[in-house]
Structure 1
Amino acid sequence: MTGKKYINTALVLMLALLGGILVRFYLLPGRNGPGSLFATVLTGIVFFGLAASMTVCTLLRVSARFREPRGTRFNVAVWGSVIFHTGMVVILFGFAVSSLFGMRGSVMIPEGVAIKFPADMESMEKGRLHVFEEYTVGLKKLELVREGNNVGQVRSDLDFFTGTFPNRRVMEINRPVKFMGYYWRSMNWGYSVRLQVKKQGKLVLDDFLNIATHRDGVYYDRFSIPDLGEWEVRFYPDISPGGRPVQNEVFPVKPATEIKISGQQDGKNIIRQGQSKKVGKFEVKFVEHRFWEKFDVSSDPGEIFIYLGSILAVAGLFFRVFFSRR
């Protein structure tokens, strides 16, 4: 087989394995548990095969250039192809570094609450060689920035603790913050309502319930509360003087909550903040509300190689296309 056929074969193999990478990252996302074993093995095979094919492809092209007779005109287009393939190898190396040493996870933090990282993460996957930096992080405040009647921006004050004093970072949508090598990005936000529930004069519940569902302008969620049954809790950011929820309101003005309990007689169980109401056999008080925010947390140590490889690949492709037409 000639060198050119080797190059073509390596290129076809490269594209096929690149398709495998896309399947791994977009169609078979990793998850905790035994089900991620296939995805992990597939990633290792794809990385090895893709690295081998692109390295062979690049070396053959470089070798062919050095075997050209002296005095041969310098071919920018051909060297552009070499630079392109080198960039692809560097990109692959970056993905491999992130796969081995990186991590990704998510966690929800209510306003005014701090969690321990990484012990309190809700979901997480990490590279086999990743070593965690441990610290405490709290959501000090979440602010909805108004633009007309809509939310123009969500601004969060995050406090990171490695000792006694906090390290304050301000996060916005599409503006993540970085602390000790980890990126924190906002994924979603919502409301929590604090309810005090009494049964026959005895306090049986005093806790925040996180409202996680937002559909058709309504914030609601369902809870299975031990000894209390199935509850549906709705949160209304604003309510009119006549007791009607203001449609599609987002900014808390005169917040209220509506309670529905499975097996209890339905009624108009809307409770304004700070007030109490009889709901079935329970006395329910809506004490206060606060925000919660869900974060995507990641560490990508290979990103610098991915950026560098992307620059090389684009530059090489430009030289290849532009100078081949001259």
Structure 2
Amino acid sequence: MNHEGTATVRPSTLAWVGRHLEAGERVVGAEALHGGITAEMRRLVIGARDGRTRDLVLRSYVDPFYLENAEDGLIGEAGALTLLAGTGVPAPSLVAVDPTAAQCAYPSLLMTHLAGRTVLDDRGVEARVRLLARQLVAIHAVRPAERPGEYTTLTTADTVVVPKGGDADVWAAAIEVIRRPAPPYEGRYLHRDFQPGNVLFDVPSSHPEGARITGVIDWAGPCWGPADLDVAHCSVNLALLHGPVWGLGFAGAYEEAGGVLAASGSERLYWRVRDALAASEEVRSVSQPWREAGRTELTTRAVEDRLDAYVTALMDAPG
């Protein structure tokens, strides 16, 4: 592994990390982790006097655009990691958090490093979709003693971005769907950004169908809301990464794994369309990390075309 120097982490932040290490340990290396959008992620190599090493992960909110919500995000993530430590959900363990940058250069969170890697290629996707569905059911089964805040959605009928070449009538009908009041729902504990980029896998190179999940990361937005919303979010990401058919099929995989969704087709459509239209505002920001991860064919235009096909399929689906 090619380490970037520890100078890539600000001295005040390094000092803060050092105060949360075991006796005799120190930071001996740092490596940038790619794929995140809102925060800077670094893997820190921790060395002990006897020569052994271990890894921790440092999340820091550096970009001024995201600093406004850094405190809430880090407090939410710290709470989620503390809660999940007593469950079977494979999340990192919390080491320390400084949500207001009282001691660090930037608002930061330090956590354990999980084995595995994100897998975004098409090979083996069928097996991974089943694993994703089972994992999401397990997350929704978590029952916190104190509920997190209610979910929020920022997309409105007026902020939707219709892709170039998209069917204007289809998109107009989809926009009308989210003008309606949200359907009633039975609340569940939500990850709120559960999708392939936030799940780590161990995948045997000779047998991709033998993949297993080793971790679920990025717990900055846990909340209370409908299971349909997490399912819809993963669905649209699968549609954009692997093609609309995989997005359309994820809800069925979730139910096969024991998950329960809204009873009526119109209620399910509301949540699916709401998250799909939210993606219309973020195509450029989500497609760039995918290209950096090797999916170079997923240009902004290619992802827009997949989103258009997915929304069209949702609106054409019976009942």
TM-score under structure 2 length normalisation: 0.22
Q: Which has the higher helix share?
A: 2
Q: Which has the higher strand share?
A: 1
Q: Greater relative contact order: 1 or 2 (C-alpha under 8 angstroms, separation 6 or more)?
A: 1
Query: Which structure: larger Rg?
Result: 1
TM-score under structure 1 length normalisation: 0.22
